[in-house]
Amino acid sequence: MAGTDPASWSTSALIEAAYREQHELDDDSPCPATVALHERGSREVLDAALTLCTSLDSKWRSLGARLLGELGSPERTFPEECCDELVRLLRDPSQSVVISAIYALGHLGNHRRDAELLALQDHPDPAIRKGVAFALSGTSLPEAVPILLKLMEDPDVEARDWATTTLGQAPGFDSPEIRAALLARATEDDDEIVRGEALHGLALRGDRRCRPLLAVELEQPGDHAHLFADGAKLCLGIEESEEVAVHDLLAGLRADRH
C-alpha cells in the first residue's frame, strides 16, 4: 500500500482497510478509508460495494451497505443503483445487515422507496425501529406520518427521539393530530432531547403553546439547553446562529405571552 494518504490507495486496499475500521474502531472514531471510498464515488467503488453485498459473510455485506449509503459524498453518485441494492438488503437474513441497510438508506436520502421501510415499524429490535425513524427523515410519503406518530410513543428513547425529530422537522406535515403528538412529547417525555425536538417542531409550525414550555425548560437548564434556546429563537424570529443570552430569550417569551 503506497503512501500514507488513503486517497492514493487502490480501491481494493481501501476496502480491506475499511473492513478493519468497521470492526476495530468505535462508532465515534474517524474512518479514513471508508471516507476515502465515499469521496471517490466511482463506478469501480460502486461495483466493489455491490459485490460485497452478495458476500456469504454478513460483515462484508454490512460494509457494502455502508459504502452505498454515502457513495460520492457529499455529491451522491449512482443513487438509484445504491437505493435498489439497499432495499434488497432490507430482506437480508442477518439483522446486522438489515440495520446497516436502513441507516444507509437514511444517509442516502433517496426517498423513492420509503414505503419499503414501513413494514419494519413493529420490529422487535429497537435499533431497527430507531433506524426506520431515522431513514424517513426528509420523506414526503403521507403513509409515513402514522408510522412516525406511533414511533413517537415507542418504549425505546432513541426511537422516540428520531421519530420526534423526523416529524418535527417536516413542517410540510401539519395537522391537529401531529401538533397534539408533539405537545405530548414536550410535556410528558422524561427525555430532555425528545422534549427539545418536540418543542422545536411546534415552534416551526408557529404553535404558540410551545412558548411557556420553552420558558420553563430555559429556567431549569439541563445538559441540552441549546435545544430549547434554538426553539426559543425560532419562536422569536431570531437567527439560530445569533448569540442571545438566556435571560433575553426568557424576556422575549414572557413578553410574547401578553
pLDDT for the residue 236: 93
As a whole number, the mean pLDDT across the chain is 93
**pTM score over 0.75:** yes
- Span 20-29, average pLDDT: 77
On the question of pLDDT at 30 being above 80, the answer is no
C-alpha cell at 99: 440495520
- Span 203-209, average pLDDT: 95
Tally Cβ neighbours within 10 Å of residue 203.
Answer: 25
On the question of pLDDT at 110 being above 90, the answer is no
Domain ranges of the chain: 1-111
Least confident of 69-78, 109-118, 248-257: 248-257
On the question of pLDDT at 62 being above 70, the answer is yes
- Return d(Cα 152, Cα 52) in angstroms, integer: 35
Count of CA atoms in the C-beta half-sphere (13 A) of 20: 7
- Return d(Cα 121, Cα 150) in angstroms, integer: 9
C-alpha cell at 119: 413494514
Counting residues of the chain whose pLDDT is more than 90, the rounded percentage is 86
**Under a CB-based contact definition with an 8 Å cutoff, are residues 100 and 94 in contact?**
no
The confidence band for 257, taking pLDDT boundaries of 50, 70 and 90, is: low
pLDDT for the residue 47: 98
- Return d(Cα 161, Cα 211) in angstroms, integer: 21
Give burial (CB, 10 Å; 0-12/13-18/19+) of 200. Answer: buried
pLDDT for the residue 1: 46
pLDDT for the residue 218: 94
* CATH entry, 1-111, from 1.10.10.10, 3.90.850.10, 3.30.70.1340, 1.25.10.10: 1.25.10.10
pLDDT for the residue 200: 96
Tens digits of per-residue pLDDT, 219-251? 987 788 899 999 999 999 999 999 999 999 999
Exposure string of 113-141, with b = 16+ CB inside 10 Å and e = fewer, is bbebbeebbebeeebbbbbbbbbbbebeb
Exposure string of 46-75, with b = 16+ CB inside 10 Å and e = fewer, is bebbbebbeeeebbbbbbbbbbbbbbbbee
- Span 100-112, average pLDDT: 94
On the question of pLDDT at 28 being above 80, the answer is no
Tally Cβ neighbours within 10 Å of residue 212.
Answer: 13
On the question of pLDDT at 49 being above 70, the answer is yes
pLDDT for the residue 24: 82
On the question of pLDDT at 191 being above 90, the answer is yes
pLDDT for the residue 256: 56
C-alpha cell at 155: 418504549
**Under a CB-based contact definition with an 8 Å cutoff, are residues 185 and 198 in contact?**
yes
